[in-house]
Amino acid sequence: MNPETAKRLCALNNAFYRDNSGSFSETRQSPWPGWTRCLEVLRAQGGLPDDRRAGGRRAGGRQSLSILDLACGNLRFERFLASALPDAALAFHAVDNCDSLASPMPGAKNRRLDWSTDRRLTYQSLDILDTLHSGLCLNDRLAAPLCDLAVSFGFLHHVPLREYREKVLASLVRQTRPGGFVIVSLWQFLNDEALAQRAQATREHALQELGLPALDDNDCLLGWKNLPGTYRYCHHFSELEIDRLVESIAPVATARTTSAPSASLLARFTSDGRTGDLNTYLVMRVSCP
């Protein structure tokens, strides 16, 4: 895939979320089962504020945890974590370019954190992929400080090009304090036979309709609620691609300069979906200097 096609696919996704934020958000209300397991890994590593082994970092008498959520969507991870850690002093730094997803919807049944009124949460409107297209450093554009935990869920499959995906992961590592944690999810929707069949059929039709060139392996165009002309770009991660992504930030001294970000893999597991294997999670600890 060339950069121009990648840019067109990103514009396609921006339009999809802008035009379908309401219906999409309503289908994304429940926490993913994998998040609970992620917290179990963090707790075992002393990375949660309710674990006394995590040290004495406190705010207002309670242990604190600062979180960067890159491509936060409708803030359901923030709601999940606030519920899972009710006594912790949490500071969320949420980033997305679809402001309507992160904003409360009038009359909605969900209970969203409102970034305009909740003091635990700051929200930054930023087009992450446009930043990469422009050749800018993503970390230079982020308003968040170094955080204890950086996450990105349901986003990397929207990132075209291996180079861009590695840059996003490296940015998460850079935005995390030494000894902190990074967690990402990687969608593997082609593991589901029914999803794979629909993806293949939709891709061929959408390529013709949109006038796009043939895409790389595991790059797909998915429809939404049978709406004509409505597509989003999604990438299925193979196991080999996941291996390479992990290797791209592994702490190998001979492979990078001392200023390059690095993190060690703590856990890699599958979860979510009807089959329990539609997302692979990577839980990493950021290397100390």
Q: How many domains does the structure of the chain reveal?
A: 1
Residue pair 248/166 in contact by the 8 Å Cβ criterion: yes
- CATH number at 206 reads 3.40.50.150
pTM of the model: 0.90
Q: How confident is the model at residue 177 (pLDDT cuts 50, 70, 90)?
A: very high
Element (H, E) at 102: helix 99-102
Q: What's the pLDDT score for residue 125?
A: 94
Highest mean pLDDT among 53-57, 63-67, 105-109: 63-67
Q: The tokens of 4 are what? A: 């121009």
3-state secondary structure the chain: CCHHHHHHHHHHHHHHHHHHHHHHHHCCCCCCHHHHHHHHHHHHCCCCCCCHHHCCCEECCEEEEEEEEECCCCCHHHHHHHHHCCCCEEEEEEEECCHHHHCCCCCCCCCCCCCCCCCCEEEEECCHHHHHHCCCCHHHHCCCCCEEEEEECCCHHHCCCHHHHHHHHHHHHHCEEEEEEEEEEEECHHHCHHHHHHHHHHHHHHHHHHCCCCCCCCEEEEECCCCCCCEEEEECCCHHHHHHHHHHCCCCHHHCCCCCCCEEEEEEEEECCCCCCCEEEEEEEECCC
Q: How high is the mean pLDDT of the chain?
A: 88
What digits encode the pLDDT tens for the residues 103-140? 754 433 444 455 555 678 999 999 999 999 999 999 99
Q: How confident is the model at residue 91 (pLDDT cuts 50, 70, 90)?
A: very high
Q: What's the pLDDT score for residue 29?
A: 86
Q: What's the pLDDT score for residue 260?
A: 74
Q: How confident is the model at residue 251 (pLDDT cuts 50, 70, 90)?
A: confident
Highest mean pLDDT among 72-86, 89-103, 149-163: 149-163
Give the domain extent around 69: 3-286
Q: What's the pLDDT score for residue 246?
A: 97
Q: What's the pLDDT score for residue 51?
A: 47
Q: What's the pLDDT score for residue 160?
A: 96
Lowest-confidence pick of 27-36, 106-115, 241-250, 270-279: 106-115
Amino acid 3 reads: P
What digits encode the pLDDT tens for the residues 261-283? 899 999 999 999 989 999 999 99
In the chain, what percentage of residues exceed pLDDT 90?
73
- pLDDT above 80: residue 74: yes
